[in-house]
Amino acid sequence: MSIDRRDAANGPAAREPAKSACEFGAGEITAAQLLTRQLLVSESPLLQYEANQARPIIFDFATSFPFDDFLSLRAVPRIFITKGAGEMQYQVDLDPAHSVIRLTVIEEMVSLECAENCYKGLLRVTSSGGPYAAIYDLTMAKGTTIPTDMIRDFAHRRPSIPTGKAGKPHVVVGKFPVIYGLARLFQMCGEFVGNCFEVVHSLEEAYEIVGVRPEDFTVCLLPERLVA
């Protein structure tokens, strides 16, 4: 059975005072009343406007960003770093003129995986040549998830960069207190097995001890560059 639009509009429900869309759904209504109100809204621009105003506004952002950037009138560049397979955790550079290797750790929170990868990578690139002086740059690192016992174990291992009989300096740079403290622990534990390291707060101190400049590191050993 079909309902004629004119019959619905001229029925008893049509003679009731017009209600705004905000009042629809309040209480129980019959199917005929619901149909009548839907027809009235579809034919009245004012009621259509009220119905649209009554609908909740939902903001759905595909990505999240800081609230201060949302309020800012200027364009704020955002840098998104994703973790995954193949992510670069460190970089190894060589000063060929002075035989100095510089390890730069890029992770802010140094993981056991990162430490193992650094150790294996340095063993690989120093398997030939040397002896080398070394700078271990941990200035970007703010903390670590490595247990203290593992720090001691690393200190007792064979050095990843051989110093040779010349005893070339190896310097660890820790800017943040946690990293600096653990580097000192690494230094003290290593001394028991003959591994000598110095620990400083800044790269400038490390460059002065080793006798090099930042621009002297002209060869990137890791990650390996692909040649076209």
What does the pLDDT look like over 66-100, one tens digit per residue? Answer: 444 433 333 333 333 334 434 679 999 999 999 99
Domain membership flag for residue 83: no
Q: Are residues 22 and 101 in the same domain?
A: no
Number of domains, the chain? 2
* pLDDT score, position 132: 92
Task: Give the angle 121-126-130 at the CA atoms, nearest 5°.
Answer: 160
Q: Are residues 44 and 107 in the same domain?
A: no
Q: Which residues contact 141 (CB under 8 A, 6 or more apart)?
A: 105, 107, 108, 109, 110, 174, 175, 176, 179
Shortest CA distance to 163 belongs to which of 134, 188, 143?
134
Domain membership flag for residue 71: no
Q: What is the Cα 189 distance to its own chain's centre? A: 32
* pLDDT score, position 215: 97
Highest mean pLDDT among 34-48, 160-174, 209-223 belongs to: 209-223
Q: Are residues 42 and 118 in the same domain?
A: no
Domain membership flag for residue 193: yes
The answer to whether 173 and 136 have CB atoms below 8 angstroms apart is: yes
Domain membership flag for residue 133: yes
Q: Is the pLDDT of residue 11 over 80?
A: no
Q: Are residues 105 and 34 in the same domain?
A: no
Domain membership flag for residue 160: yes
Q: Are residues 21 and 106 in the same domain?
A: no
Structural domain containing residue 20: 5-54
CATH assignment of the domain containing 186: 3.30.750
Q: What is the mean pLDDT of residues 20-35?
A: 51
Domain membership flag for residue 13: yes
* pLDDT score, position 127: 87
Q: Are residues 49 and 101 in the same domain?
A: no
SS3 200: strand
Domain membership flag for residue 125: yes
Least confident of 8-22, 168-182, 205-219: 8-22
Q: What is the mean pLDDT of residues 26-44?
A: 55
Report pTM: 0.61
Q: Are residues 123 and 46 in the same domain?
A: no
Q: Is the pLDDT of residue 117 over 70?
A: yes
Shortest CA distance to 110 belongs to which of 186, 168, 205, 30?
186
Q: What is the Cα 200 distance to its own chain's centre? A: 27
Q: Are residues 202 and 94 in the same domain?
A: yes
The Cα 216–Cα 213 span in angstroms is 5
pLDDT digits (tens, 9 = 90+) for 139-189: 999 999 999 999 989 888 988 987 666 678 999 999 999 999 999 999 999
The Cα 125–Cα 94 span in angstroms is 10
